[in-house]
Amino acid sequence: MNWKTEWKPLAIMVVVFLAAFHLPVGVPRFDTAFTEALALVKWYAREHVVLCLLPAFFIAGAIAVFVRKESVMKYLGARAPKPLAYGVASVSGSVLAVCSCTVLPLFAGIYRMGAGLGPATAFLYSGPAINVLAIVLTARVLGPQLGFARAIGAVVFSVVIGLLMHLVFRKEELEKADAQVAMPEPDVARPLWQNGVYFALMVAILVFANWGRPSASTGAWAAIYSAKWVLTSVLALGLGAVLVLWFRLPVVRVALVAVPAIILALLFPEHPIVAFGVAVVGLGAITSTGVGDDREWFQSSWGFAKQILPLLLIGVVVAGLLLGRPGHEGLIPSAWVARSVGGNSLGSNLFASVAGAFMYFATLTEVPILEGLIGSGMGKGPALALLLAGPALSLPNMLVIRSIMGTKKTLVFVGLVVVMATVTGMLYGTFF
């Protein structure tokens, strides 16, 4: 036996054995942390997989199949004019108002279609960070000063981070730009406006199905929330019509998906996720058994799901184990976090940025969490730092980003977010 090659497997087995031998089963914090990890996985599966991720996978698959590569490169490519590219990336990301995990399939779709690294990472940051409803809720609950600072900081971050990513990896981006110099104009099956309507319907379904409950019971946000499932249903019917009229899916096959979903929506109005789930699964069924573009659409969506879902599951388990859920503790006591973010020192701002980067925040949940931390003595600077780093990043998010653009680019992206959030928090805490 050659121990020069066998020592690594032996070392791994010894470490695993010792970890199992000394597993602190029966210690309350350890047992609670595992319970919290499973509880977070259960909550994530109920609240995000069906309503957020599955529609996002279909949108990402559609980008890969139905969006012309030339169009992506025209607006987001390495050779696209910078004001246009970063403007489109920031605006399109902010329109989605999704969490740090839901944005991942969409980011993967545009990045693999040829989007420049800078605009793609601007989109990656802006999707979860520039959330109009979350910014309004921040201003209402935590004060207009912090809400305004979050809005300005998130918009500036998305552009600056994208530009810095481009500069750091400028050599690779120049090579990509040279490769995109001349590409033939492909034949198109549908005019641009039809594809635009198709994508707008899918994005609108994703946005309204995940519309969060606002803090106030009156006003425009509350009115939209009360009608979210009516709006989602109308949009879904519109998407069905588009698939029949423009994508040539047989009426009977689309009806086999639509009719059961409508019946379930009428029978179980208090559980709309049931009808929504049936509709999404049905869409997968009719596209997977189709031909041509329909089948390719499903295969592309399935490819994103296979790559992203396992990594997200691992990340959610680890995040729940270490940090628990809002209001519940994992292995790391919440009191440690509260004590570490007081004042406006470099350490407190850096800790808030790093903690926020590794925690998983569902859309809008960062506001009540911060409200509790501020009540426990959190400084204004660390609060802003967490708001700028937290919603845009999470441990599950980082694992998937690494699988898409590699370890080095992921470390630089995460590092830029953390450093910029830390510096911005210190400046804000100093002046306000």
Query: Could you tell me if 147 and 139 are in contact, meaning their C-beta atoms sit under 8 angstroms apart?
Result: yes
Q: Is the pLDDT of residue 388 over 80?
A: yes
Counting residues of the chain whose pLDDT is more than 70, the rounded percentage is 92
Average pLDDT for the chain: 84
Helices marked H in 246-379 — which ranges? 251-267, 272-288, 293-323, 334-340, 346-358, 366-375
pLDDT band at 398, cuts 50/70/90?
Answer: very high
Residue 177: pLDDT above 90? no
Residue 240 in tokens:
């069905």
Instruction: Average the pLDDT over each of 139-148, 155-164, 344-353 and give the range with the smallest value.
Output: 139-148
Residue 69 pLDDT > 70: no
Separate counts of helices (H) and strands (E) for the chain: 22, 0
pLDDT tens column, 323-342: 777 667 788 777 777 778 88
Q: What is the pLDDT of residues 96-151, one digit of tens each?
A: 666 778 788 888 888 887 788 999 999 899 888 877 767 877 887 788 898 889 98
- pLDDT band (50, 70, 90) for residue 366: confident
pLDDT at 326: 67
The pLDDT of residue 139? 83
Our CA angle for 204, 256, 288, nearest 5°, is: 75
Rounded (10°) angle between helices 272-288 and 228-245: 10
Residues 6+ apart with CB under 8 A from 278: 257, 260, 261, 264
Residue 25 CB: number of other CB atoms within 10 A? 8
What is d(CA 165, CA 173) in angstroms, rounded to the nearest whole number? Answer: 10
Higher pLDDT, residue 373 or 243: 243
- Residues 65-72: contacts with CB under 8 Å, at least 24 apart: 65/293, 65/296, 65/297, 65/300, 66/195, 66/198, 66/293, 66/297, 67/113, 67/195, 67/199, 68/186, 68/188, 69/113, 69/114, 69/183, 70/183, 70/185, 70/186, 71/192, 72/110, 72/113, 72/114, 72/115
Closest to 93 measured CA to CA, from 305, 384, 364, 391: 391
Give residue-wise pLDDT tens across range 212-267. 777 677 788 888 889 999 999 999 999 999 999 988 889 999 999 999 999 999 99
* pLDDT-based confidence at residue 310 (cuts at 50, 70, 90): confident
- Tokens (6 digits) for 307: 């790559």
Whether residue 121 contacts residue 198, with contact meaning beta carbons closer than 8 Å, is answered with no
Q: How far apart are CA 101 and CA 79, in angstroms?
A: 28
* Mean pLDDT (whole number) for 296-314: 87
Q: What is the mean pLDDT of residues 155-159?
A: 90
Task: Output the pTM of the full model.
Answer: 0.78
From the centroid of its chain, how far is CA 393?
8
